[in-house]
Amino acid sequence: MSLAMRYWRTGFLLIFLACAGMIGFALYHQIYHWVMPCLMCVYQRLAIIVVGLLALLAAVWCPDSRRGVKLVGGLIILAASAGALAAIWNLRLQYGPVDPSVVCAASLPFPIDLNQMPAWVGTLIRPVGDCSAVDFKLLGVTMPAWVLLTCLGLIAVTIGLCSARCAEIGRRRWR
C-alpha cells in the first residue's frame, strides 16, 4: 500500500470519526443539557452527517482514478460548504442586526416529515430551538462558529488528501 493511499484511508477515517464525535457531542448537550437544535443547527448536523458518511465511503473505497478522487473530494467539499453556509447564516441570526423579516424558529416548516421516521431520527434532527438565541458556548465561542471552523478545516484537509492522491496517481501513470 502506497503512502498516499495510507494517508487517504487514515485521513478520511479520521474525518469520519471527527464527524461522529461532533454529532455525539451535539446529542450529548441536547439530551443532557437541554440545548435544543434550531433549524439552522439541524441543517448543520445534516451536513456533518453527510460529510462523515462520504468520508467513510472514501476511506473504504480508495479510487484509482483522478476522476474518482475529484468526485469524492468534490462531494465532501460540497457538503462541508453547505454546513459552513448554514453556520454563517446562524451566526448572522445570532450576532447580526435584528431583522423581524428574517425568522428562524421551530415553527418554520421543515422539509422532512419526521413522523414517518423512527423516533431516534426525530431526536437527531427535529428543530425546536430559536436560531437567534445563544444557548451554548465552548471556550467563549458559540456552536455555529465551531461548526464553521470545523467545516473550513474539513475542506482544507479534503483538498490536501485529494491533491496528494491525484499526484500519486499521476506519478504512477507515468512509470
> Tens of pLDDT along 68-95?
888 888 999 999 999 999 888 877 877 7
**Nearest-angstrom CA–CA distance, 147 and 80:** 10
HSE-up of 33 (CA within 13 Å, CB side)? 10
C-alpha cell at 100: 423581524
pLDDT in tens, 105-157: 544 556 666 666 666 666 666 666 666 666 776 687 777 888 899 899 999 98
H/E segment holding residue 141: strand 141-142
What is the pLDDT, as a whole number, of residue 100?
A: 61
Higher pLDDT, residue 169 or 139? 139
What is the pLDDT, as a whole number, of residue 175?
A: 42
pLDDT band at 53 (very low <50, low <70, confident <90, very high): very high
Cβ density class 59-92: b for 16+ within 10 Å, e for less: beebbeeeeebeebbebbbebbbbbbbbbbbbbb
Neighbours of 124 (CB within 10 A): 19
- What value does the mean pLDDT take over residues 1-26? 80
Evaluate if pTM is beyond 0.95: no
